[in-house]
Amino acid sequence: MTRTKSTAHAKDGADQSIPAPTAGNGGEWHQQATAGMPPLTTNQGLTVADNQNSLRANPRGPTLLEDFILREKITHFDHERIPERIVHARGTGAHGYFELTKSLAKYTTAKVLTEVGEKTELFTRFSTVAGGSGSADTPRDVRGFAVKFYTKEGNWDLVGNNIPVFFIQDAIKFPDLIHAVKMEPDRGFPQAASAHDTFWDYISLTPEAMHMVMWVMSDRTLPRSLRMIEGFGIHSFRLLDAAGKSTFVKFHWRPTLGLQSTIWDEAVKIAGADSDYHRRDLFEAISAGNFPEWELAVQLFTQEDANAFPFDHLDPTKLIPEELVPLQVIGRMVLDRWPNNFFAETEQVAFCPSHLVPGMDFSNDPLLQGRLHSYLDTQLSRLGSVNFHQIPVNAPKCPFANNQRDGHMQMGQPTGRVAYEPNTLLATAPRELTASGFRSAAIEETGTKGRIRAETFADHYSQARQFYRSQTAFEQAHLASALVFELSKLEHPHIRDAIVGHLRHIDGDLAQRVADGVGMASLPPAPPTAVLPEERAPSPALQIIGKMKDTLQGRSVGMLIADGSDRAPIEALRTALLAAGATVKFIAPKIGPATLADGSAQTIDGQLAGTPSVLFDAVAVLLSADAAAKLVKEAAAVDFVRDAFGHLKAIAVDPGGQALLKAAGVEPDAGVVAAAKVEMFIAAAKTRQWARESRVRTLA
């Protein structure tokens, strides 16, 4: 049997790169570049005419079940790895509850959204996307944010991310996206990183991804804590009232601690100091009774509202700015219990966007339409059985009954002779309930079916521009620097050229900063685009720095002390920090109690070499003269203060601490405070010292 290879390689093993694209959306370049290459086919040898679009009832209609090409492609992708999740493999989760504070009875019959004061049990899992289960917590990556509500009417899974948009518009491209961002198949690296050729090559040919790229290169993908990230359902869903009238809804999770991120150098060093940094942070917060909490907010809008938007809300690469449709807070989520067994619960939990309850329905978002198939199919592969719903963490808390029987790992013992509906032999057999059961929205669909994307999906740059221009100057510098870092890792210059060309559609200054950062002599041309970018009003809601809360709640302060340190300033700082809501940990050259100047003992939480300042939001250095004289010769101690200063953190010091700063070459600024000025230190510790950054770091 002869098998046709889908890719070709030079005889000496070198890459056979295709010519650089001249257009950002495939098109004419694609036809030219693929001339002479083997055709793309299904596994049955059928030549594929369109690998960019799912088959839909009409350009803005639902995806059709008959799309066997989509199903074969995604089914194969879903089953590529066993048993680890293909994406979101590195995760952590917790139990908790949702409490409704505002009824949506005007819009839906779903009891979880109508019964004010009702507490619904839930399980939430946070995750990185690109890395495997053994990767670190802190790479630059999107964070999954998935919640399973155990409602009275069945399980509702709200499966989203900490970013409100996505890379692609159509689910048929998801395998391509993940194949591009994952480890390159011929070398098995990089792990949990997007700074490589295959990812950026794909992005350069997928201009619809540029809005998501702005988010990924921003500080949003370097969270300080999982307790300090927002969550988004991404897609438009529908709510249905008792009469069947539907209203569109988007879901938002907003952390009560506010948003906070690390900076790149800090995230890199945290990965080395504590690869479980986010997992440990969540565990310690719950164990201490500092239960993480989020508000659930919704954006509600009608089809008439949507018709007036300057974008298509069914396009998952677009968001609805809060200034256009304000958020309404309707409830809160509290995580108050860690799993009893990590594998049994956090690893075996199975989320599916298709899990919803009466009073809810889907939209025609083509990415969501594909997810409705993909997630269930993935769980069948990963958990090995159609009976994965019987695993305790996945089982509904309400009664459930149907005629589905047997199958691998069947845990139940159904009785009786009847396993079908309708029947006349068993009066107690489960039957459909037309009045209270699930109903789909009665939406009329017209048009010509085909593999075609709606023209309303053609604007790829306007919201990317809006996002970038909504950031503070500090955040814009971080974003530009992230792009420089990522693109500097590429082997193929034409890919860098293509990306910078796309950036010209977003912001000319951004394109120039990145071009300068990667050493381009001149700006490459911008690719042709079907729709010219529009100017949109900046949205402050898209910032992080501008939205940071003026608080120490949820923050951690590290105190570097040693034998001979003075008890009085230690206690004064500790008392004030705890009163402000911070967690305080003591670091010393040796683990075990430190003997202070008054002879008392102070319990130590971490040894200096293994507990660097990157693990804290602010630090205090309180040392005797003798201890300081020793520690100025200790690299770990010098790095402790040098990194704290370089990472823009507030630092409290006594005379011994000042000696250590001098040894580190740190020139104090307003964020370096005398230990005696407790209130001044607390005020400085609530934020980063952003004005310092230009002194310690070169940014794009």
509 Cβ contact partners less than 8 Å away, ≥ 6 residues apart: none
Task: Give 456-487 pLDDT, tens digit per residue.
Answer: 999 999 999 999 999 999 999 999 999 999 99
φ/ψ of residue 297, rounded to 5 = -125, 155
pLDDT at 18: 52
Distance CA 316, CA 165 (A): 6
Place 65 in a pLDDT band, splitting at 50, 70 and 90: confident
Identify which of 162, 161, 157 has the alpha carbon closest to the alpha carbon of residue 120: 157
Contact between 531 and 310 (Cβ < 8 Å): no
Cα separation, 467 vs 484, whole angstroms: 18
Residue 8 pLDDT greater than 70, yes or no: no
Answer yes or no: is pLDDT of 31 > 60: no
CA 400 to chain centre: 33
**Three-state SS annotation for 400-469:** CCCCCCCCCCCCCCCCCCCCCCCCCCCCCCCCCCCCCCCCCCCCCCCCCCECCCCHHHCCCCHHHHHHHH
> Half-sphere exposure of 476 toward its Cβ, with a 13 Å CA cutoff?
18
Distances 44 to 40, 49, 72, 339, 381 between C-alpha atoms, Å: 11, 14, 10, 45, 22
Kindly report the average pLDDT of the chain as a whole number.
92
Pair 585, 638: CB distance under 8 Å: no
Q: Which two tokens stand for residue 221?
A: 């993908």
Q: CA 133, CA 375: separation in Å to the nearest integer?
A: 18
How far the first Cα of the chain sits from its last, in Å, is 55
Rounded distance between C-alpha atoms, residue 625 and residue 615, angstroms? 26
Contact assessment for residue 666 and residue 645, using Cβ atoms and an 8 Å cutoff: yes
Q: Which of 538, 90, 562 is nearest to 346 (CA)?
A: 90
Mean pLDDT of the region 495-505: 98
| Letter string b/e over residues 401-433, b meaning 16 or more CB atoms within 10 A of that residue's CB | eeeeeeeeeeeeeeeeebeeeeeeeeeebeeee
User: Residue 20: is its pLDDT beyond 70?
Assistant: no
**CA nearest to 369, candidates 107, 85, 169:** 169
Q: Is the pLDDT of residue 126 over 50?
A: yes
E strand segments, 530-637:
556-560, 583-588, 594-595, 601-602, 606-607, 618-621
Tell me: pLDDT of 497 over 60. yes
CA 460 centroid distance within chain: 21
Domains of the chain: 68-390 (2.40.180.10), 460-545 (1.20.1370.20), 550-696 (3.40.50.880)
Residue type, 491: E
Q: Residue 76: which pLDDT band, with cuts at 50, 70 and 90?
A: confident
Q: d(Cα 157, Cα 371) in Å, to the nearest integer?
A: 12
237-240 vs 360-362, strand pairing mode: antiparallel
Assess whether pLDDT exceeds 80 at residue 142: yes
Residue 409 pLDDT more than 90? no
Residue 7 has pLDDT above 60, yes or no: no
Alpha carbon distance 672, 670 (integer Å): 6
User: Which pLDDT belongs to residue 10?
Assistant: 37
Q: Taking residues 49-65, what's their average pLDDT? A: 91
Please say whether the beta carbons of 496 and 204 come within 8 A: no
Q: What is the mean pLDDT of residues 348-369?
A: 95
Are 163 and 231 in contact by the 8 Å Cβ rule? The answer is no
Q: 111 by DSSP, 3-state: which?
A: helix
Contacts 24+ apart (CB under 8 A), 575-579: 576/678, 576/679, 576/682, 577/552, 577/682, 577/685
Q: Which of 570, 552, 555 is nearest to 657 (CA)?
A: 570
Lowest mean pLDDT of 71-80, 233-242, 259-268, 581-590, name the range.
71-80
- pLDDT at position 32: 54
CA torsion 662→664→669→673, rounded to 10°?
-70
Q: Which single residue is written with the structure tokens 């008890």?
A: 567
Whether 26 has a pLDDT exceeding 70, the answer reads: no
* Rounded-to-integer distance, Cα 347 and Cα 393, Å: 10
pLDDT of residue 81: 61
What is the rounded average pLDDT of the residues 3-25? Answer: 42
Quick check: 231 pLDDT over 90? Answer: yes
Q: Which residues contact 493 (CB under 8 A, 6 or more apart)?
A: none
CA distances (Å), origin 444, targets 62, 170, 235, 495, 695: 11, 22, 20, 44, 61
Per the residue annotation, which of 25, 88, 389, 647 is the catalytic one? Answer: 88
Strands 618-621 and 556-560: parallel
**Helix 473-488 and helix 264-273: axis angle, to 10°?**
60
Plot region of 45 (φ>0 → left; ψ -120 to 50 → alpha; else → beta): left
- The pLDDT tens digits of the residues spanning 267-283 come to 999 999 999 999 999 99
Check whether 320 has a pLDDT greater than 50.
yes
437 strand-pairing partners: none
Q: Is the pLDDT of residue 415 over 90?
A: no
Mean local confidence (pLDDT), 304-328: 98
Percentage with pLDDT > 70 across the chain: 95
Residue 261, strand partner residues: 223
**φ/ψ (deg, to 5) at 362:** -95, 165
Known catalytic residue at 402? no
Answer yes or no: 88 catalytic: yes
Helices (H), ranges, 145-219: 174-181, 197-204, 210-216
586 has which bridge partners?
559
Whole-number pLDDT of residue 2:
34
Return the H-helix or E-strand segment holding 1.
none
Which amino acid type is present at position 493?
P
pLDDT computed for residue 428 by the predictor:
86
For residue 422, give both structure tokens.
Answer: 């309708």
pLDDT at 94 over 70: yes
Question: Which whole number is the average pLDDT over 308-330?
Answer: 98
Alpha-carbon distance 322 to 325, whole Å? 5
Q: For tokens 């592969």, name the residue.
A: 381
* Mean of pLDDT values over 488-514: 98
Rounded to an integer, what distance in angstroms lies between the CA atom of residue 367 and that of residue 234?
10
At residue 329, does pLDDT exceed 90? yes
On whether the CB atoms of residues 495 and 467 are closer than 8 A, the answer is no
Catalytic residue (choose from 161, 162, 387, 394): 161
d(CA 307, CA 314): 11
Average pLDDT for 537-565: 96
Residue pointed to by tokens 């199919």: 377
Q: What is the mean pLDDT of residues 398-417?
A: 86
Confidence at residue 652, expressed as pLDDT on a 0 to 100 scale: 98
